[in-house]
Structure 1
């Protein structure tokens, strides 16, 4: 698997099994309604992607590189997409990015449990 942010390979990869792509349907809030007989009348306006990743412990330089690569309001993310059946580049933004308190080993801070959720613009 290859992951890139703004055409640069990501500094560290998610833990095995902790990379998940969700395909999101966005519906119009006003015209999508369920009638009294229970029938849904749906107005899908877009199909977007959301990518969730969790990382093993990362040293300062790796976690910093990942977070700085996602510091712009929007960025290009290259990843394997299950619906396309191959690699794609999507314009994304990042939500909250929690990381546990670091531990220090041999003078290097290590951060455990970084979680990232990317959502297509």
Structure 2
């Protein structure tokens, strides 16, 4: 069975609750002519991965945020276009950890809805 775990900076992180890959075309220049036709100079196709997690323990959240602390880092993930696991270099957008809460039936404090975007270099 294939291993589809998300790995960031060499660390297999807790599986996210939400995982969305956006495939983006990067243009150096795009213009329209007098007929309204688009002329573009596509220079690359890059990925942006939007991820979020269900409640994380304090230590799970620390491991996750530590994995994205560098300016650039490797991410191993399941890519829909490549049809398998790939490793690419990414950077992280804003990291959101909106609510620290005590969940009695889980026995402690948890960060809820931790999320960020991983953007391919």
Q: Does TM-score exceed 0.5, indicating one fold?
A: yes
Do the aligned partners of 1:25 and 1:48 also contact (CA within 8 Å) in 2?
yes
Do the aligned partners of 2:9 and 2:68 also contact (CA within 8 Å) in 1?
no
Q: Which runs of 4+ in 1 moved over 6 A?
A: none
Which residue number corresponds to residue 23 of structure 1?
A: 23
Do the aligned partners of 1:55 and 1:115 also contact (CA within 8 Å) in 2?
yes
SS across alignment from 1:28: strand
Residues paired across the two proteins, number: 116
| Gapped regions of structure 1 (runs ≥ 5) | none
Note the aligned Cα RMSD (angstroms): 1.3
Distance in 1 (alpha carbons) for counterparts of 2:67 and 2:94:
14
**Greater strand share, structure number:** 2
Tell me, yes or no, if structure 1 residue 33 matches structure 2 residue 31. Answer: yes
Tell me, yes or no, if structure 1 residue 91 matches structure 2 residue 89. Answer: yes
Deviation at 1:105, TM superposition (A): 4.5
Per the normalisation by structure 1, the TM-score is 0.90
Per the normalisation by structure 2, the TM-score is 0.90
SS across alignment from 1:13: coil
